Chains A and B, each alone.
Chain A
């Protein structure tokens, strides 16, 4: 569905991505794991058009979307839930959701808002409150709901569990699987490697701007290198 070939990108003089290849098959959950500064967020931002790549190519459903403006990427059917959620703090919960449907003109927007409220009932209770007044977990729900309002084919989730209580994290991962079950392809960036590998079908491991390892998530969980680096060691001593 989405294919990245030899993509390099950076900020000013800093090269954050040094030529990565990545493939996301339709209907799957693909996870991108790695430490801070490995280039995960940069990968997301470059797919989304927020950063222009220095070289390489991004194809989505066979179309070259490299370097398009973000709003054109959205109209292709890709939505991003950014790191830190980026809730519009001065707009109400309802307005945030409406903004998610910005490019839609169909008559099902209200139906979809209702669906989001059914999935996250707390958002309906708070729908007239400003986005900035929500707790971290509620903001994550709102950010996901808002991205879903665009009816994306591919959903990019950047660190959805960051800073959330364990119970909320479990909820969020459950929802990610539900969304995927309804037919949305997901690219998931996570530092919570254990959880990420549990829900993902396939995973890529990044280190300092390169992909160093890839494989089926089920296999990676048992890979000693992953165990040591990200899962707190496989054996004592």
Chain B
């Protein structure tokens, strides 16, 4: 008789209690990779946990959770106008999330999307200042291009450092967020200060024709750009050789090298694309919702985009869904201010959805296996037990 397979080292049922020698017992075993379906379930669990925790918070602070949630749902999902307001916020979230996901699909973390959005908006606004006489459509297209360029400019340093020196992109991209925001602050009080705003420092307004056309309700055509970009990247990443190489370079650098793929060029492309997309998101936010450049323009969309991408497992389809949900949470959070509840509930809910989903995903990532006692006379190996193979999930 061959030596029976032992329980995995990492088990929940630990210890050397006597019962474990005689009773068939469950152990938790980690799956090799996260299934997208499991991630979807984890996301829903995260939302439910966040709503429960948020309800307790609201109740504890003397609010009626049901009334607050009703208002949030009605103002974000109830009807055409409400949906348009949700989509308005989902648009920058989706593009920023996509930006992070492009880098993430090869295992890179672009933590600086917030800064690249600001850089994109800044370069776009600067372009509008020098070429404010152009007709609307031309000006807007060029501003969006300028936005992408701005994002690339901010990320090119970290990308080169990562590709050729191996400097972690996590910290460098993050540091440049603060740099970008402070540059806009400097522009506001210094060179770009509106000469017509006496005493009150603000940047000169954009030309009138530099605003994205509306689509329906509150939403502008930026939402179509977001949808097109998501589709394009889904095709590129999952259906082309380029995307396959990108994913392989991330998941197995050694294999990629043997296959003749230049890792350095892949790192550069992924990070530059990521920065360009984030810059584009900034320019769309500027031309779509703002009348002038402000230091608070990106208002956390870039950081939220990281959460969106992480929840979406770096997949474009997932980014669309998560961005929509987060857009609804943001819109709902804004609407409840009329009930006297602070909009910070929205940020709390976002963070709690992420944490709940992270924990749920890890738990869903384990499966229960029934392990027979060692040396109990049966040679039925636990791994070959058909009953255990069917017992998936927790």
Same assembly: no
